[in-house]
């Protein structure tokens, strides 16, 4: 087993470090350099113009939120649902609808049930999965493989990054297509993830806050699913209380939980209206003496209000959310490591959840 971990103490850390390779595999052969288009061979016979619904659980649901947001920004009617809450008699689903199941394993019972229900209602179904010949891949009308390679750690890491990238490619295919800048930004992501993996601040931040009462994560737009994912990763491998919030929601309740013993991780990239609004929320928590950890490309002045900075390269907000998530994976890993947790097999959790 030690040989399989290639010198890393845990599969999770190994898989975090495999992300540049996983992302390159995800992109391979799918971008046509000559005419600047995305070419998904897996979906050559998918021709869809109607609404799109995503169904997924856990980390895959966070990736689905990210995919839905990209499509919405392109003017496509798209929505992400928790598979366990999806019911075809409550949401409008018919033969005009494409229902996309996002599932690393392809075996998650809740997601399979939602897909089957959607298929019965006449929808076209698509599995976005890591596992060739999984139930989801076999049962759906179409399959798009994320090509992350096997993931052993129960906590999903490289598969989340690969889902983000695959869903960005899917969104480009199902909408207007990417601009040249967007394509170049996508292609740069694997190398930028490598740059993030060379930084050491995440470990220092973990050491500083290993005894915190709770950990909060905030973000807007593409960074909202990253806030949710940062909190989920922290919960599942450290067993500590962690919550992710849409940054604008803080003042509607969660702010009451914020104290000097609850670090707030804020994802802020660029220097646009979205960044400025999140910085406004950062000031709200700073005023309550909460330690602020900014995950940022340094384009805005969020660093003025932060106690710690986890740097990422400057890219689009879409790419920035992939990079920011890598920093949060590292923080969760190092907190769990310091606490001596069973990182690869957290208590009560299974890699693939085959019951509803």
Where along the sequence are the contacts to ligand AGP (CB under 6 A)?
A: 57-60, 103-105, 108, 111, 154-156, 236, 352-353
Cβ-contact 140, 126 below 8 angstroms: yes
Catalytic-role residue among 5, 21, 345, 351: 351
- The Cα–Cα gap between 195 and 122 comes to 45
- At residue 197, the 3 state secondary structure works out as helix
Element of type H or E holding 264 = strand 264-268
Q: How far is the CB of 107 from ligand AGP (least distance, A)?
A: 7
Between 108 and 316, whose beta carbon lies closer to ligand AGP? 108
Between 156 and 231, whose beta carbon lies closer to ligand AGP? 156
According to DSSP, the residues that pair with 309 across neighbouring strands are 294
Q: How far is the CB of 208 from ligand AGP (least distance, A)?
A: 24
Cα Rg of the chain, angstroms: 19
Q: What is the DSSP string of 216-267?
A: EEEE-TTHHHHHHHHHHHHHHHH---EEEEEGGGGGGTGGGG--TTS-EEEE
Q: How far is the CB of 60 from ligand AGP (least distance, A)?
A: 4
Between 88 and 104, whose beta carbon lies closer to ligand AGP? 104
- The Cα–Cα gap between 302 and 215 comes to 19
Residue nearest to ligand AGP (CB): 58
Between 179 and 354, whose beta carbon lies closer to ligand AGP? 354
- Residue 351: active-site member: yes
Q: What is the DSSP string of 326-337?
A: HHHHHHHHHHHH
- The Cα–Cα gap between 21 and 280 comes to 37
Element of type H or E holding 257 = none
Give the neighbor-by-neighbor strand order of the sheet with 292-296. 242-246, 215-219, 264-268, 292-296, 308-311
Q: How far is the CB of 138 from ligand AGP (least distance, A)?
A: 15
Q: How far is the CB of 153 from ligand AGP (least distance, A)?
A: 8
Between 229 and 297, whose beta carbon lies closer to ligand AGP? 229
Catalytic residue numbers read: 351
């Amino acid at each position: 087993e030690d040989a399989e971990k290639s010198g890393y103490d845990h599969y999770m850390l190994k898989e975090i470090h495999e992300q540049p390779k996983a992302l390159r595999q995800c992109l391979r052969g799918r971008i046509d350099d000559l005419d600047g288009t995305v070419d998904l061979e897996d979906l050559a016979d998918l021709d869809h113009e109607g609404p799109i619904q995503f169904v997924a659980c856990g980390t895959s649901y966070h990736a689905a939120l990210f995919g839905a947001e990209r499509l919405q920004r392109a003017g496509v009617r798209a929505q992400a649902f928790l598979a366990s809450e999806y019911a075809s008699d409550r949401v409008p689903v018919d033969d005009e609808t494409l229902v996309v199941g996002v599932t690393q394993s392809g075996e998650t019972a809740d997601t399979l049930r939602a897909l089957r229900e959607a298929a019965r209602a006449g929808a076209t179904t698509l599995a976005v999965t890591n596992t060739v010949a999984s139930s989801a891949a076999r049962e759906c009308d179409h399959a798009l493989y994320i090509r992350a390679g096997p993931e052993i750690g129960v906590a999903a890491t490289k598969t989340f990054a690969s889902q983000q990238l695959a869903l960005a490619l899917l969104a480009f295919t199902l909408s207007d297509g990417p601009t040249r800048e967007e394509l170049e930004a996508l292609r740069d992501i694997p190398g930028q993830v490598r740059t993030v993996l060379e930084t050491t601040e995440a470990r220092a931040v973990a050491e500083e806050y290993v005894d915190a009462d709770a950990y909060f994560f905030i973000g807007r737009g593409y960074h909202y699913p990253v806030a949710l994912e940062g909190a989920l990763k922290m919960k599942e491998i450290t067993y500590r209380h962690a919550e992710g919030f849409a940054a604008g929601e803080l003042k509607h309740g969660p702010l009451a939980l914020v104290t000097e013993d609850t670090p707030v991780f804020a994802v802020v990239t660029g220097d646009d209206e979205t960044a400025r609004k999140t910085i406004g929320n950062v000031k709200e928590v700073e005023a309550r003496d909460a330690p602020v950890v900014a995950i940022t490309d340094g384009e805005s002045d969020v660093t003025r209000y932060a106690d710690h900075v986890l740097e990422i390269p400057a890219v689009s907000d879409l790419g920035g959310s992939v990079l920011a998530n890598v920093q949060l994976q590292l923080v969760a890993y190092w907190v769990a490591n310091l606490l001596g947790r069973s990182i690869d097999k957290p208590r009560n959790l299974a890699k693939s959840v085959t019951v509803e």
